Structure 1
Amino acid sequence: MKLKFTKQDYQTDAVESVVDCFCGQPKVERAQYRLDPGIRKERKGQTEFTTDPDLPGFRNHELKLNLGQLLENIHAVQHRQNLPLSPTVVSKPSCPVNLDIEMETGTGKTYCYIKTMFELNRRYGWSKFIVVVPSIAIREGVAKSFEITAEHFMEEYGKQARPFIYDSKQLHKVESFSSDGGINVMIINAQAFAARGKDARRIYEELDDFQSRRPIDVIKKNHPVLILDEPQKLEGKKTAESLKEFNPLAILRYSATHKTEHNKIHRLDALDAYNRKLVKKIAVRGISVKGLAGTNAYLYLEGIQVSASKPPVARIEFEKRQSSGIKRVVQRFGKGDKLYELSGNLDQYRDFVVTDIDAVTDTVTFSNGAELRSGEASGDINENTLRRIQIRETVRAHLQKEEENFYKGIKTLSLFFIDEVAKYRQYQDSEELPGEYAQMFEEEYRQALNEYLELEDNPYKHYLQHIPVHKTHNGYFSIDKKSKRLIDPKVKGRGEEKQADDVDAYDLILKDKERLLSLDESVRFIFSHSALSEGWDNPNVFVICTLKHSDSTIRKRQEVGRGLRLCVNQAGDRMDPLSCGATVHHINRLTVIASESYKDFTASLQKEIADSLSARPRKADEAYFKGKVLRTAEGNVEVSDQMAADLYFYLIQNQYVDSKKEITKTYHDAKDSESLAELPESLQPYAPQIVRLIDSVFSDAMLPEFENGRTVKPNPLNKNFEKAEFKVLWEKINRKAAYTVEFDTDELVGKCVEHLNADLKIARLQYVVESGVQGDKISYEGLKSGSGFAIKETATQKLNSTAHSAVEYDLLGRLAEDTCLTRRTIAAILKQMRASVFVQYRANPEDFLNKAARIINEQKATVIVEHLAYDPIEERYDSDIFTAEKPQEDFKKAVKAERHIYDYVFTDSKNETEFVRTLDTSAEVVVYAKLPKGFSIPTPVGNYNPDWAIAFKEGTVKHIYFIAETKGSMSSLELREIEQCKIKCAKKFFSKITTDQVKYDVVDSYGKLMELVS
């Protein structure tokens, strides 16, 4: 398994936010200084230098921008991201430049700061970087990230970084760091320079084995850029004081939760990451203990199963009299079942008769008035019982998700965190024995496995059969070097700061990272010590279970953070929005097995997320909207006073804000159901950007609702699937086709030239002139603080002369690479551009390249779709695609249906729900289906999956068969260019492979559908 990396817009934004803060800094490569060779050593009568006295060192060139220029750059970056503008450049004793980059856990902040190093090197020539981390776990993870991204960045930049982990016993690496002219990166944990131990002091001491030099003196000569990973854990007094010893050029701070803010230049917080589908969706299986009045009867409701032909049944664990004694067993119960009789006449169940099983609300009601919800237990509940339930739920959640992932070529991993090794592995003399949790796991796994093996024969069943139970789980712990036994790690800190100090354990975790992603590897369930949790960032963790006493100091975000990263398939491709589109959260779903109720766990998690969003604005008024930037494909648009007034009135008029100027639940409900009121005319051209701007204002209603992992149940096909009308419809649309594109290069060149001449506008560089005067009185304090002068006037001027750049650009090569066109075609386009437009290249080359590439790509897509033609091929879609994925959905979104091919229809919005309900009651409709993801139409801009296939009663409409794409009322404004291209392709596809009886179109309601078919 080899992980692959692709360019992601949100990561590029994070990189550019940092790099653009230094605009105007001249590029100076390989700035030299004389490297201190240290004191000569005598050996056997010969004089030796361990360092060549004439060997040059290489350092970062000094920052040439003054604070005014830096602040102007920072404001430009903050302005385009609609972040609050910093009043000053925040300086500290450790460094004059301190930039904060906020990125949610799992979105690739390590990748971003590695890429930032390459960009800072390309733009400004800086090549010395130090990554400071708070723990051994993060240090080892960072080193691994450099290793697995090396080839990726080599392809993009044509060079490799040279990272190394600082070790006071291997100081020759420090010397190489200084003497090498390439990109060099030192990775160091804070304990190596800010602790009191002997090893930590060595960095400040003159050492015989380092030619009587102090390592810190050699390091500081490089004037490095410092990158702090998780800076909120590096704010101790000793650490903060020690940072200035590195003589940093700038400090970049990367975290999801900044404790202290400096100049924030980028924000990708928990809400942004979730709404943009950059992290997994979270489902929670809570376990709550409930006392049923007047009884000690033990009951645990695992869940409710539904089927096409039978009433729902409940899976309940209860106590049953057997020949070997009373045991707890899991059994299926139906309406009317008497627990007293089925338990072997145990008195505690005398009044328990099942009177109702509700699959939608996940509840079972008994004749004595008692009610249980899925995940609730009553009666005799001790810690062992709770842990066994957690393990059982983890196994079942794993198998549900694994079956779905198996057919997509995605390995599924589940992660148990425990508080002591003895719970997993014990030792008796020389014999290794399973601990109580390992025994529980194997018992519960065998029981769940036997149920799966009873099902119909399929490839997933064969996969399960070939994995021995004892090989499907493994423990990752510290290992005693003498006895080779698993041991508890040495732990430092308490609560959330608790961490292990065992390099070997982390090395094992990281070494096996790719191996565990392979379906050929039998290990699927992992047990690890809770103190090693930071070491786990495997992208294919889909279930997390913490088997330990509840600890109020451990945050819920920390608990789920180990599984947020988007997964990868067997080819190493990440299943992200680029590759999966709208299905990204269907594939990427993390289930947390909590030791508390669903309600308590999710409430705590939501509160933690809300608390982390304190920097977000809370009021949506004119003052907030004025001057904000709308980033469109054509360029940036600033919100004018009139636009701000129109937007605020729109929000008031539709009750989208309340008297406190806070966004209401009404707005979020309307947005989710795609039924937002129409925007004023002045704002309609920017509808998607306006929605994102409103969403930047925080309200409690926008917090994500975490799914209840228990409401996931199979939804089998029913008798409608066998109806003749559906079979005829399927026969008409299941043809596959290949597309061809033939277009004239001259036509493409002409379109590109036309739109470049009309739309290419390059921003000129600006500078700020500040005029000030000295105060009437001068004090020592004023001179010391810099407040002896007061700014009286600020003027912003445009730089009209040509911008000098030391960077050599390959204009043709760069545009050819970004557009996938030949250099000849790019040259033809540039030659025909108006000189007055092309001359903008000299003013701002980077902006010219980016905007020109975007315009050319847009015109290329348009030309391709216009000249695309489909040709049917012999191959057809098999009806197996309706069962291959075995859809399992959240029943909270379920609509019970009569005419759909499944018993339940799962909708994504209020608009879809209304559409389904009308379809299901319409006298004209015979049968309909939500088309599975496996039914896709190939297009030049990615595969396209239509929404609905509908068969009408013959004689009631003109078009008996209809393929529909449902969109909300604002959809035409929000449709991206790529979606519009796909819809145009779909129309060509269906017109080619079907007859006049079948029609395809986009509709927003059942009424619109009837207009089109009648």
Structure 2
Amino acid sequence: MKLQFKTQAYQTRAVDSVVACFKGQPPSRGVTYQIDPGRVSTLSTPMQRDLYASPQEADAGFRNADVELSEMELLGNIKAVQQRQNLPVSDALAKDDKTGCSINLDVEMETGTGKTYVYLKSMFELYEKYGWGKFIIVVPSIAIREGVYKSLQITADHFQEAYGKKARFFIYNSKQLHQIEDFSSNAGINVMVINVQAFNSRGADNRRIYDELDDFQSRRPIDVIKANRPILFLDEPQKMEGGKTLGSLSEFNPLFIVRYSATHKTTYNKIHRLDALDAYNQKLVKKISVHGITTRGLTGTDAYLYLENIETSRSKPPVAVVEYEEKGASGIRRKRRKLRLGDNLYELSGGLAQYQGFVVSDIDARVDQLSFTNGVELTVGDITADISEKVLRQIQIREAIKAHFKKEQQLFSQGIKVLTLFFIDEVAKYRQYDDSGEVAGEYAQMFEEEYKRELNEVMTLEDSDYHRYLKGIATEKTHNGYFSIDKKSKRLVDPKTKARSNETDDVDAYDLILKDKERLLSFKEPTRFIFSHSALREGWDNPNVFVICTLKHSDNTISRRQEVGRGLRLAVNQLGERMDDPMTVHDINGLTVIASESYKDFVTALQKDIAANLSERPRKADENYFKGKLLVNDAGEETEVTAAMAKDIYRYLLKHDYTDNDDHITDTYHQAKEKGVLAELPDSLKPYEAQIGQLIDSVFSNAQLPHIDDGRRTKLNPRNDNFNKQEFQALWEKINRKAAYSVRFDSDELIQKCVGYLDLKLQVKRLEYKIERGEQNVDASYEDLKRGEGFTVKERDNQKYQGSVHSAVTYDLIGRLADGTKLTRRTIAAMLSKVKASTFKQYAMNPEDFMMQAVRLINEQKATMVVEHISYDPLNETHSQDIFTIEKPENRLDTAFKAKRHIYDYVVTDSGIERDFVEDMETRKEVVVYAKLPKSFFIPTPVGNYNPDWAIAFHENDVKHVYFIAETKGSMSSMELRKVEEAKIKCAAEFFDTIATAQVKYDVVDSYDKLLDLVR
């Protein structure tokens, strides 16, 4: 397999942010200089002396050209980049006294979004635009160094295809100093990868970079490197912020420094941000679910119980999958069993006294809870009594295998291989050695036992490709360990870790993982489960890790973001193609974390980690926040938010309850955005709708944090007996009729309305043209001219065209408008003949924009009139009751409400208003039964299908019944509803007036009390 790479817009934006900081820098293909030849007489062999016998060849070097922009020009470029991304604007160039570098740029990119790819591409762009070709990538550990080197290898062909050239790259090695000579003498793109230990440690080998070496012609390697004025790219700079490390970086004499990280500690000039929220909301990383395991003590008993899952079905009551202890002929053993209501664990265990009183009294599928008659309650993932470390790890391994099979069955047919990663603390838990050689350790034995048991559950008599695939893999071949290897004994050993750190510097630990990266993604490779040392946490980023299980106690030294970071990258299929289709990305890309702590504790810590790294995001959406921000309209014109515009945005948010009294973004805003029902912006702000939305979304609120669910809690929400109640069946009979609509309106009235609307709203954008003045370079070569580099632009100017457009293109204005509006040519001609001369005059300024805007405005008026003149004709066709079973109702645990009068056991509410509405319906005695109508129940309208919210049956005076179809809205004023929503509601009113009897009422309400007023 060969991994495929493609141009991604979000990565291109990150690259452009760096390149744009040097706008105006004259291009150069490197400055020629003489490399210090050293003392040739010190060369020890004839071959070495021959190599350096020609000083003309040996001494020719190419260094990066100096930055010729002034500080003011650089700062202006940086500010422009920051403004375009709505980042905090720098007041001055942030200099770093420790490194001695005056140009420092920060790029923030979330783990798994490809920051290595971004800075590699940035090198090619900087070389293309400005001729800079000497780069050093500095990394904090060998793990990351090896990962970067692998990225350079696998992207080489991709970049050659895009830029027509390859980069020369190498890992700095103090014993292969000829590579530094090549780095200095080559005029193309040259990349050196170096870890901080290679120049910042006390060992003699690491200090060689600063020593005059006989085998390097009595020169210091650092002097040869610094003569190139390299550009430094720091990967994970927050791990290299010690004073000694930063001071050592000054020895490289960097032209400038760019720092790349997801979690910057120190910031200089931040020019790009793609944080955890951006990455999740743009679906650039996997969605996370967590399986938590909680140990609970029971008073007065040592009973062992593990509640593994609660299973549901449409036709049977829920059952609880439990592991417990059972007394047999050979002693006590652990057994898994499905428990039902009334099951007695004392009897099932063979009479073990510890289970007296454990009779199942309730199995609640909604909250995944199992209750016993003795008052003991367990939630999925709970383990009772004090269990051993071994039992906890076995349960974690079991959960990881179950999650693996579940994901694998889903993705196998799509050509996606699923990998599961176990992190452990010591090799002996996985592999041990005796006189016979290598034997399975404790975790390997547990794995094979649990794997075989789960495999038997998965395998059936069905003869499918997936089952044949599983049959072809031996249990002992499907897992493997990646650890350091002792060079003498050839045995797996624990990696050597640095003092006061859990990171390893042992390169042997990475060889197999990184070199087998592509092979592991192939179905031909049997390895699917990988055991690795927890010290190797960083640098291991195979994209197809779907399950991570850390077989150690969680502690405060490792953040939860680090624990999940190895599995965030989007998966690839057997062709090496990234599975990043926005429509299905999170259906495919899900990471399951098997935690050794409760779901709540792990998720709380993870959310805290994410929020802590969003400190630079603004918290308040007040006028000061919006003022001065940069907006770009559809034509690419940039506008700064004025004080008046900032006030308009602020009032808009306040008016629709999108901000609270403290100017924080509310849940109401995020819920409306998710449902696509945000209120319309004022007309003055509509040209910048997308950018204003981005500004609002940049303001942090807890509601933005990624939703992390428990993957085991996907339950059915069964329809209950309320559905069969006479009252609901009678209601359904009255509203299930389908109807077709027809529209009759007066053409003269439409013409009149459209003429007035065009005169009021039509504003054509004037054409803009760009003037560039340049001159030929005096020393331009033939090759420069072939590449289009023989001229240099000296001046640019943008001006708006004030006259009329004379084009060779003949436009059929009436025909184009007729096609776009589906009106007759006669009607269009009548409209154009009646608009003001000043309105029609705009056509000559920009015909295309005139026609585009006219079509939009005419269609808006047409839609309004269509709604005003609509009528419905009942059909003989009805909605089937099957829509209540075919369409699976949602059961999101965070919003589900346990119901008694609803036709399903649980109601999912989408807002606080709906929640209050449901609570009232559940407690008011006049409500007999109600339903949240499925999306399949819709009313056709000229502006799209409409799905009402609620169908409710009331009883009044215990005699007659009243039926109501309700739409719950936070705002009752029609002026505050979106035009499309308002139109749909008017159509719905006409629909129910036509098909229903007087007993059925329809209206929009904002509370149950308002509904009751209408019913009575």
Would you say same fold, with TM above 0.5? yes
| Partner residue of 1:381 out of 379, 387, 396 | 387
- Measured after TM superposition, the shift of residue 499 of structure 1 is 1.2
Say which is worse superposed, 357-366 or 141-150, in terms of deviation: 357-366
In the superposition, relative to structure 1, how do residues 90 and 52 fare at CA in structure 2: closer, same or farther (>3 Å)? Answer: farther
Counterpart for residue 549 of structure 1: 553
SS of 2:371's partner is strand
Give the Cα–Cα distance (whole angstroms) in 2 for the partners of residues 594 and 925 of structure 1. 36
Once the two structures are superposed, residues 711-738 of structure 1 have per-residue CA deviations (whole angstroms, 9 ceiling, x without a partner) of 13589999x9xxxxxxxxxxxxxxxxxx
Once the two structures are superposed, residues 9-45 of structure 1 have per-residue CA deviations (whole angstroms, 9 ceiling, x without a partner) of 1111100000000000000113211222222237679
Q: Is the 8 A contact 1:675 1:968 kept in 2?
A: no
In the superposition, relative to structure 1, how do residues 174 and 759 fare at CA in structure 2: closer, same or farther (>3 Å)? Answer: farther
In the superposition, relative to structure 1, how do residues 760 and 401 fare at CA in structure 2: closer, same or farther (>3 Å)? Answer: farther
Give the Cα–Cα distance (whole angstroms) in 1 for the partners of residues 661 and 914 of structure 2. 32
Once the two structures are superposed, residues 860-905 of structure 1 have per-residue CA deviations (whole angstroms, 9 ceiling, x without a partner) of xx9xxxxxxxxxxxxxxxxxxxx9xx9999666779999x999999
Counterpart for residue 611 of structure 1: 612
Give the Cα–Cα distance (whole angstroms) in 2 for the partners of residues 696 and 15 of structure 1. 21
| Partner residue of 2:253 out of 244, 247, 251 | 247
Give the Cα–Cα distance (whole angstroms) in 2 for the partners of residues 1011 and 16 of structure 1. 55
Counterpart for residue 40 of structure 1: 40
Give the Cα–Cα distance (whole angstroms) in 2 for the partners of residues 638 and 45 of structure 1. 66
Identity of paired residues, percent? 60
The answer to whether 1:366 aligns with 2:372 is: yes
Counterpart for residue 860 of structure 2: none
The answer to whether 1:336 aligns with 2:309 is: no
Q: Is the 8 A contact 1:673 1:968 kept in 2?
A: no
SS of 2:81's partner is helix
Give the Cα–Cα distance (whole angstroms) in 2 for the partners of residues 1009 and 574 of structure 1. 49
| Partner residue of 1:347 out of 336, 339, 353 | 353
- Measured after TM superposition, the shift of residue 665 of structure 1 is 3.1
Counterpart for residue 801 of structure 2: none
Counterpart for residue 817 of structure 1: none
Counterpart for residue 724 of structure 1: none
Question: What's the C-alpha RMSD, in Å, of the aligned pairs?
Answer: 4.5
Say which is worse superposed, 903-912 or 442-451, in terms of deviation: 903-912
Counterpart for residue 570 of structure 2: 566
Counterpart for residue 991 of structure 1: none
The answer to whether 1:219 aligns with 2:190 is: no
SS of 2:538's partner is helix
Q: TM-score, normalised by structure 2?
A: 0.74
- Measured after TM superposition, the shift of residue 519 of structure 1 is 1.9
Give the AA of the match of 1:63. Answer: V
Say which is worse superposed, 684-693 or 16-25, in terms of deviation: 684-693
Counterpart for residue 773 of structure 2: 802
Give the AA of the match of 2:413. Answer: Y
Counterpart for residue 91 of structure 2: 87
- Measured after TM superposition, the shift of residue 370 of structure 1 is 1.6
- 1:790-869 correspondence to structure 2 within 5 Å: 802=773
Say which is worse superposed, 260-269 or 901-910, in terms of deviation: 901-910
| Structure 1 residue runs without a partner (length 5+) | 721-756, 765-799, 812-828, 835-853, 863-882, 932-945, 949-966, 970-1001
In the superposition, relative to structure 1, how do residues 499 and 291 fare at CA in structure 2: closer, same or farther (>3 Å)? Answer: same
SS of 2:712's partner is helix
Q: Is the 8 A contact 2:484 2:508 kept in 1?
A: yes
Provide the aligned length of Structure 1 versus Structure 2: 826
Give the Cα–Cα distance (whole angstroms) in 2 for the partners of residues 592 and 559 of structure 1. 9
In the superposition, relative to structure 1, how do residues 694 and 375 fare at CA in structure 2: closer, same or farther (>3 Å)? Answer: same
SS of 1:75's partner is helix
- Measured after TM superposition, the shift of residue 211 of structure 1 is 1.4
- Measured after TM superposition, the shift of residue 706 of structure 1 is 1.1
Q: Is the 8 A contact 2:109 2:274 kept in 1?
A: yes
In the superposition, relative to structure 1, how do residues 366 and 194 fare at CA in structure 2: closer, same or farther (>3 Å)? Answer: same
The answer to whether 1:513 aligns with 2:484 is: no
Give the Cα–Cα distance (whole angstroms) in 1 for the partners of residues 492 and 230 of structure 2. 40
In the superposition, relative to structure 1, how do residues 103 and 927 fare at CA in structure 2: closer, same or farther (>3 Å)? Answer: closer
| Partner residue of 2:71 out of 60, 67, 72 | 67
- Measured after TM superposition, the shift of residue 371 of structure 1 is 1.2
SS of 1:329's partner is strand
Give the Cα–Cα distance (whole angstroms) in 2 for the partners of residues 45 and 472 of structure 1. 50
- Measured after TM superposition, the shift of residue 710 of structure 1 is 2.2
Give the Cα–Cα distance (whole angstroms) in 1 for the partners of residues 994 and 160 of structure 2. 55
Give the Cα–Cα distance (whole angstroms) in 2 for the partners of residues 1012 and 522 of structure 1. 65
In the superposition, relative to structure 1, how do residues 410 and 907 fare at CA in structure 2: closer, same or farther (>3 Å)? Answer: farther
| Partner residue of 1:654 out of 656, 662, 666 | 656
In the superposition, relative to structure 1, how do residues 669 and 425 fare at CA in structure 2: closer, same or farther (>3 Å)? Answer: same
| Partner residue of 2:129 out of 119, 123, 128 | 123
Q: Is the 8 A contact 1:901 1:927 kept in 2?
A: no
Give the AA of the match of 2:628. Answer: G
In the superposition, relative to structure 1, how do residues 269 and 925 fare at CA in structure 2: closer, same or farther (>3 Å)? Answer: closer
Give the AA of the match of 2:25. Answer: Q
- 1:334-733 correspondence to structure 2 within 5 Å: 334-454=340-460, 457-494=463-500, 497-576=501-580, 579-581=581-583, 583-635=584-636, 636-712=638-714
In the superposition, relative to structure 1, how do residues 833 and 207 fare at CA in structure 2: closer, same or farther (>3 Å)? Answer: farther
SS of 1:28's partner is coil
Give the AA of the match of 2:624. Answer: A
Give the AA of the match of 1:634. Answer: A
SS of 2:433's partner is strand
In the superposition, relative to structure 1, how do residues 172 and 608 fare at CA in structure 2: closer, same or farther (>3 Å)? Answer: same
Counterpart for residue 18 of structure 1: 18
- Measured after TM superposition, the shift of residue 915 of structure 1 is 15
- Measured after TM superposition, the shift of residue 1007 of structure 1 is 4.5
In the superposition, relative to structure 1, how do residues 352 and 249 fare at CA in structure 2: closer, same or farther (>3 Å)? Answer: same
Counterpart for residue 749 of structure 1: none
In the superposition, relative to structure 1, how do residues 523 and 91 fare at CA in structure 2: closer, same or farther (>3 Å)? Answer: same
Q: Is the 8 A contact 1:672 1:909 kept in 2?
A: no
Give the Cα–Cα distance (whole angstroms) in 1 for the partners of residues 689 and 21 of structure 2. 30
In the superposition, relative to structure 1, how do residues 212 and 373 fare at CA in structure 2: closer, same or farther (>3 Å)? Answer: same
Give the AA of the match of 2:56. Answer: D
Once the two structures are superposed, residues 170-204 of structure 1 have per-residue CA deviations (whole angstroms, 9 ceiling, x without a partner) of 01111001111110000011111111111121111
Give the Cα–Cα distance (whole angstroms) in 2 for the partners of residues 48 and 639 of structure 1. 67
Give the Cα–Cα distance (whole angstroms) in 2 for the partners of residues 363 and 889 of structure 1. 16
Once the two structures are superposed, residues 240-274 of structure 1 have per-residue CA deviations (whole angstroms, 9 ceiling, x without a partner) of 11111111111000001111110111111111111
| Partner residue of 2:286 out of 270, 280, 283 | 280
Q: TM-score, normalised by structure 1?
A: 0.74
Counterpart for residue 53 of structure 1: 55
- Measured after TM superposition, the shift of residue 88 of structure 1 is 0.4
- Measured after TM superposition, the shift of residue 968 of structure 1 is 13
Q: Is the 8 A contact 2:320 2:370 kept in 1?
A: yes
In the superposition, relative to structure 1, how do residues 712 and 415 fare at CA in structure 2: closer, same or farther (>3 Å)? Answer: farther
Give the AA of the match of 1:35. Answer: I
SS of 2:136's partner is strand
| Structure 2 residue runs without a partner (length 5+) | 724-763, 778-783, 789-805, 812-847, 857-884, 922-927, 939-944, 948-968, 972-982, 996-1016
Once the two structures are superposed, residues 953-988 of structure 1 have per-residue CA deviations (whole angstroms, 9 ceiling, x without a partner) of xxxxxxxxxxxxxx999xxxxxxxxxxxxxxxxxxx
SS of 1:527's partner is strand
- Measured after TM superposition, the shift of residue 65 of structure 1 is 0.3
| Partner residue of 1:147 out of 149, 153, 161 | 153
- 1:962-973 correspondence to structure 2 within 5 Å: none
- Measured after TM superposition, the shift of residue 350 of structure 1 is 1.7
Counterpart for residue 28 of structure 1: 28
In the superposition, relative to structure 1, how do residues 622 and 717 fare at CA in structure 2: closer, same or farther (>3 Å)? Answer: closer
Q: Is the 8 A contact 2:903 2:931 kept in 1?
A: no
Once the two structures are superposed, residues 543-598 of structure 1 have per-residue CA deviations (whole angstroms, 9 ceiling, x without a partner) of 1111113322111111111111111111111111xx242x2112111111111111
Once the two structures are superposed, residues 520-558 of structure 1 have per-residue CA deviations (whole angstroms, 9 ceiling, x without a partner) of 221111000011121310011011111113322111111
SS of 1:19's partner is helix
- Measured after TM superposition, the shift of residue 289 of structure 1 is 1.3
Counterpart for residue 193 of structure 1: 199
Q: Is the 8 A contact 1:968 1:1004 kept in 2?
A: no
Q: Is the 8 A contact 2:63 2:227 kept in 1?
A: yes
